[in-house]
Amino acid sequence: MMSSEFLFCGWLQQLLVLLLKLTLSGAIPTNGTDCTARGPASYILVFTGQWSPQTFPKQYPLFRPPAQWSKLIAITHNGQHRLFQEGALASVGLQNFAEVGVTVELVKGAKEARKRRAVGAMYRTAGIPTGIGHSSTELLLQTRSPLLSLMVKMIPSPDWFVGVDSLNLCEGGQWKQEVTLDLQPFDAGTDSGFTFSSPNYPTVPQENITRITSQMPNHPANSFYYPRLTELPPIASIQLTRQSRSPAHQTPLSNHILPHPINPLSTRRFSETPLDCEVSMWSSWGLCLGPCSRGGVRHRTRYILLRPANSGTPCPELEEQSECTPRNCLKHH
């Protein structure tokens, strides 16, 4: 009897040791994203808009409204929450932000997630009134929420935005010192407009969030359709720099619009994007006019849909003529 009790206690002890090892090794995560760094980390986040008429000449918005960026929305979180995800459907909050810049539902969702300890904090910066500019904010990341997600809406646009999804700033038990990322536009999948200034045209049924490329959507009317490019130039970028001093002794930089570049990385200039001329289909041939003795001439025309820019292919001839026999001359044969 004593022997069986001893064996049972030994087995139970081994089981408890095994569970303890699994927990310490991270096989049983507590928040979906473990970070073993010592204490929190403070970062300066700088968003740089690079939406220029030289880099993106096609249908570049010059007025009503001109090209600009909305306020930046950022959250720190763990693996149990997503602000957005490429290939998934947009939430109501993301749809409202991507289409009209309203943040009410996004803030509500972040507050609900914070109650579950899935979100650490939410941050915002002021909007940028031009396509080229900088804004910044200060972030404080805790070990329980080491991921960063952010979004900025493109204005004007149907439902296009740039963003970062679940960037992990804590790897290998260490906070990263500096991160720089180029950003490309996303389509929220809730509006079917092709151009920056398209009227509201809801997508029914709603589609997944997709990355916009130089050839997708594959339609000449699309504002980002540049078939000569293998990929779009970056339309924006972010830079995260960890601050070495204690957060209590740092100079606040929240909700700042920076009028000048703050480092060499933000002064990069990309080559001008060539924009080829686009013309309409030929019209029907006009009447054949002219004397019967010399024969007649007929004309057809086409017009320019998109003027070339940045050394793109020039426009072809817009008028064409050919010889013909006037109709009244045919009656004499």
- What domains can you pick out in the chain, each with its CATH number? 41-267 (2.60.40.2130), 278-330 (2.20.100)
Contact 143, 8 (CB under 8 A): no
In this prediction, residue 266 has a pLDDT band, given cuts at 50, 70 and 90, of: very low
Contact 160, 188 (CB under 8 A): yes
Whether residue 258 is predicted with pLDDT greater than 50 in this model: the reply is: no
Query: Between residues 34 and 194, which one has the greater pLDDT?
Result: 194
40-66 mean pLDDT: 93
122-147 mean pLDDT: 94
180-191 mean pLDDT: 97
The pLDDT > 90 percentage for the chain reads 56
Contact 37, 174 (CB under 8 A): yes
pLDDT at 191: 96
A 10 A CB-CB count for 38 gives 9
Within its chain, how far is the Cα of 272 from the centroid?
20
pLDDT at 267: 43
In this prediction, residue 265 has a pLDDT band, given cuts at 50, 70 and 90, of: very low
Strands (E), the chain: 41-50, 68-77, 119-125, 132-141, 147-155, 160-168, 170-171, 174-175, 178-183, 186-187, 210-211, 236-242, 256-258, 278-279, 296-301, 304-306, 319-324
Tens of pLDDT, residue by residue over 97-129, are 999 999 999 999 999 999 999 999 999 999 999
Tens of pLDDT, residue by residue over 189-248, are 999 999 999 988 999 999 999 999 999 988 888 999 998 889 999 999 999 999 986 545
pLDDT at 306: 75
Whether residue 84 is predicted with pLDDT greater than 50 in this model: the reply is: yes
Strands (E), 56-113: 68-77
pLDDT at 18: 61
Tens of pLDDT, residue by residue over 8-19, are 456 666 666 565
The tokens for 97 are 């932000």
Average pLDDT, the chain: 84
Query: Between residues 85 and 248, which one has the greater pLDDT?
Result: 85
In this prediction, residue 20 has a pLDDT band, given cuts at 50, 70 and 90, of: low
